[in-house]
Amino acid sequence: MNSGTRIILRAHQQTNVRTNSSVSVHYMPYLYMEYTVKHMNLNADIPGVKERTLVAIKPDGVQRRLIGQIIKRFEQRGFRLVGLKMVQVSEELLAQHYVALRKKPFYPSVLQYMTSGPVVAMVWEGHNVIKSTRMLVGHTNPAEAEPGTLRGDFSIHVSRNVVHASDSAEVAQKEISLWFQRSELIDWVCCDHGNIYHP
């Protein structure tokens, strides 16, 4: 809860009172308690909870209607979605995203693939989310991806491997700033936060 949030508690109590005439009289007093909730940093004692990573569902994943199933995997794990949008990616953005691949002979095919349809870009937040996401996504080559991973379950060939995920904290920070404006990321608290992070 945010600092300064005001909460009204209404305690409703119905009580029986015996009078001298032995007639039962009912009354319903209402107790109002108003107080200010102090700012609570729910993440103060949990290192890495605010870690974020970029996940992008590639055109093949979008075309095959896998968006919901992919999001479900992350939500079931307990991660928090703080940014989401569908975009038609430009070659200019891809040139910055895949800067390490620009001199590779297969780069033109990557451009063709990634601009062939919309991409769903997401930012997920949580404890060790970068490492956990890489494990959840699976090996780059679906033929080597474990069953139960996104690529192991949903893809066959390395050229159509459904999803991208940042592979380090440094890369995640760069990719998030490339794909999202700061105003597009929503910092909010899940109602189940205490069940995920606190014993």
Which residues are part of a known binding site for ATP?
58, 106, 134, 140, 151, 161
Binding-site sequence positions? 58, 106, 134, 140, 151, 161
Which residues does 18 contact at the CB level (< 8 Å), separation at least 6?
Answer: 24, 25
- Residue 164: active-site member: yes
Residues 6 or more apart from 60 whose CB is under 8 A from it? 113, 155, 160, 162
Work out the end-to-end distance of the chain between its first and last CA atoms, rounded to an integer number of angstroms: 19
Phi, psi of 121 (to 5 degrees): -100, 135
12, 164, 193, 198: the active-site residue:
164
| Cα 141–chain centre separation | 25
Residues known to be catalytic: 164
